[in-house]
Amino acid sequence: MRTLKLALAYDGTDFAGWQRQAGDRTVQALVEEALSRIDGKSVSVAGAGRTDAGVHAIGQVASVSVTNDLDPATLRRAVNASLPEDVRVVSVVVTHDGFDARRDARRKTYEYRILNGAMADPFIRRFAWHVPQPLNAAAMAHAAARLLGEHDFASFQSTGSSVVTTRRTIFESSLERLSLRSVNAASTAIPLSSVAGVPPELLSYRITGDGFLRHMVRAIVGTLVEIGRGRREAASIDALLAAGDRSRAGPTAPAHGLCLVNVEYEADATR
C-alpha cells in the first residue's frame, strides 16, 4: 500500500461538483472508478477542495492509497485513458503515508473571471460570468483589498454548512484586467472586440486564504460586482464584515466563473 498525491484539472460545466453524489456525475466518482479498475479493488480519493457544480479547477489536489506498483507516469497515463476528456490527472507523486489532501492543505487560491462588455464571447462563456453593464474596476479592486487579513466572513457564507468558526485569513485579494487575446487564441481569429466601439474587458479576481466558507468566493464576487455597478461603496466591505449577516451582502455569483487554481502545503507535507 502506498499513498499518492494527484494534481487534477477539469472543466466543471457538466459535473455536479467534485464530491461523490448518488446518481450524479462527479469528478471524485470518475477518478475513483478509474483508479479502482487499475487497482482491482475499491479506492477512496480525498480532494483538497469540494468544488460545487459548475466550478472548474486547474490545481485541484487529491490523495489516495493504492496497492498497484505502476510508476507515477504510467499510472497517470492509465488513469487518463479511463477518464472523459473534461477531467485530467496532471501529475502523480508518491507521498508519505497519512497525507490527506484536504486536512493538510494550508492555503488555497481561487480565481473568478468576469467578462464585462455588451456582448458575451462564445469562446469563454463556460469560464467567465458575462456582466454587460459597465463596471468600475478600480472601485472593485479597492474593495477587494479591504478583505486582506483575518476577518469573520459570516456575511459571505451561504446556508447549509456547519463550521466551527467563520473566521478566515485572506493573504491575497486582488482584481486585474486580462487580455482577451492572451486568454483565448480563438478570440484572435474571431474577435468580438467592439460593440458600438467599446471593447469588452476580462476581469480576474484572485483570492488566497487558509480556508473558505460555502459559496464564500462567489458571494464576495457578487458583492464586488455591485460595487462596480455603483450600487455600493467600496468602503461598505468593512460594514459587511462586521455585520455577520448574509442578507446584507451581494448575490452569489454564477458558478461557472470560478476556478480552483492552487492548493499549498507545508514544505515537507507531501514528501
Q: What is the CATH number of the domain that holds 249?
A: 3.30.70.660
Q: Domain end: 74, 95, 116, which one?
A: 95
CA distance 38 to 74: 11
Classify residue 271: in a domain, yes or no.
no
Residue 248 has pLDDT above 80, yes or no: yes
In three-state secondary structure terms, 57 is strand
Amino acid at 29: A
CA distance 206 to 216: 13
87 and 132 share one domain: no
Classify residue 132: in a domain, yes or no.
yes
144 in Cβ contact with 110 (< 8 Å): no
Q: Where does the pLDDT of residue 185 fall: very low under 50, low under 70, confident under 90, or very high at 90 and above?
A: very low
- Is there a catalytic annotation at residue 152? no
Which residue, chain included where needed, has cell 507531501? Answer: 270
Nearest-10 Cα torsion for 88, 90, 93, 96: -60
Name the grid cell of 112: 473568478
Q: What is the CATH number of the domain that holds 6?
A: 3.30.70.580
Q: Domain end: 54, 73, 95, which one?
A: 95
Tell me the per-residue pLDDT of 141-158, one tens digit each, with 9 for 90 and over.
999 999 999 999 999 999
Classify residue 270: in a domain, yes or no.
no
Of the candidates 52, 97, 104, 245, the residue annotated as catalytic is 52
Tell me the per-residue pLDDT of 61-76, one tens digit each, with 9 for 90 and over.
999 999 999 999 999 9
18 and 134 share one domain: no
Classify residue 9: in a domain, yes or no.
yes
252 and 140 share one domain: yes
87 and 216 share one domain: no
pLDDT of residue 121: 84
**In this structure, are strands 56-66 and 258-264 parallel, antiparallel, or unpaired?**
parallel
208 and 82 share one domain: no
Q: Domain end: 95, 117, 145, which one?
A: 95
Based on the structure, what is the number of domains in the chain? 2
Domain boundaries, position 132: 107-264
Quote the mean pLDDT of the chain. Answer: 92
